[in-house]
Amino acid sequence: MMKTTMVAAAAATLTWSGAAFADSIDPTSFGATLGVGDSVTLRKTVTVEATGPTDALVDIMFVFDTTGSMGGLIDGAKSAAGTILSTLSSTYGDVSSGVGYYADPGYGIVSDLSTTASSTTSAINSLYACYGSCGGDGPELGNAGIDTAANDATWRPGSNRFIVAFGDAPFKDSTDYAQTNPLSDATVTADLAAANVKLFGLDVGYGGFTTSLTELGGTAFPSGTGTDAIISNILAAISTGFATYSTVTVDDLGGGLPEIDVSTSCVSADIGSCVGSDAVGSYDRSVDRTFEFDVTFTRTAAGDSSFETYALVDGGIVAREADRFDDDTSVVPLPATGLLLLGGIGGLGALRLRRKKAA
């Protein structure tokens, strides 16, 4: 028979350090013993802070215009690469990065997303002006380069996803320019949305790049080619990407299966509303905001299970909770026949001992 238990968050917390200084999920850990078919429901509070997350899962693809005019920015990016990646990691926690390019013709991924920062640094260092093509007519294949990064990069489940493009010229698309296998702005915009990727750019050119990026739903920052300018503008772009959001929820992203199934129901939603498992609204980080969820853990198979439950903002991980569920069926009692057998074996042992003493 299935048993359902409701647990208050205060009683369930195993470790809690006090005041939060970044996005958080409370309780920070939880454990219970469940038999197959049993469930427990826990009230969780997610706080999305004005200061931003410090335990986020961040995936970022850097996409460079590598035509002849881009030598200065590429050199600056080479100098800045190590600092960019180390600063992102120290700011947000778990960062994966990769590198793509576009020219005219030519575009693609140089290095796929990886948590090994040296792979990204090596890929950036391999770029140079006229990598792929020197170009020559102004507009470049930015649409194709960005779309390839959105579709073909190996984005991690639950990651906060960003593409940061570097360029100095407008993009070719099927509306404005004839090209082989043209990509319209509408196609690229739809692909970015499908991949849940936010687009930003550093404009170091003579005009047109910012307009092209905006037509894809992105945001561009005017930038110099020096190391400090590149670093500050990339960090500003990622910070801007976290500044507004529309959904908050709690999920394990399948981590509890096959032993534990996790389901979520939104209970309260700051200034927004609850829609099923999600808090939905038009939110920003001008103030701290809190959201409540009832999360139900149901044992679906035998076996101990340890996994994480995440606070998700717009589908990206911003905080995590450690969960452990022990299986109360892991020790199986012996049936009555087994106990009788053990009793019989014990009796034979005692009989042999008495005979030995009599001899």
Q: What is the pLDDT of residues 207-264, one digit of tens each?
A: 789 999 999 999 999 888 888 888 899 999 999 999 999 999 999 999 999 999 999 9
pLDDT confidence bin for 319, thresholds 50/70/90: very high
> Residue 31 falls within a domain, yes or no?
yes
- What domain count does the chain have? 1
> Residue 334 falls within a domain, yes or no?
no
What does the mean pLDDT of the chain come to?
A: 86
> Residue 355 falls within a domain, yes or no?
no
> Residue 337 falls within a domain, yes or no?
no
User: pLDDT for 167-181, tens place per residue?
Assistant: 989 998 765 555 555
> Residue 358 falls within a domain, yes or no?
no
Q: Is the model more confident about 338 or about 195? A: 195
pLDDT confidence bin for 130, thresholds 50/70/90: very high
In the chain, % of residues over pLDDT 90: 67
> What mean pLDDT do residues 332-351 have?
42
pLDDT surpassing 70 at residue 145: yes
In the chain, % of residues over pLDDT 70: 83
> What mean pLDDT do residues 32-41 have?
96
pLDDT of residue 332: 44
> Residue 342 falls within a domain, yes or no?
no
> Residue 350 falls within a domain, yes or no?
no
pLDDT confidence bin for 79, thresholds 50/70/90: confident
pLDDT of residue 285: 96
pLDDT of residue 354: 41
> Residue 359 falls within a domain, yes or no?
no
User: pLDDT for 86-115, tens place per residue?
Assistant: 999 999 989 999 999 999 888 999 999 999
CATH code of the domain containing 190: 3.40.50.410
This prediction's pTM: 0.85
pLDDT confidence bin for 161, thresholds 50/70/90: very high
pLDDT of residue 328: 79
Pick the closest to residue 142 from 163, 164, 172, 168 (CA basis).
Answer: 172
Domain coverage including residue 182: 1-328
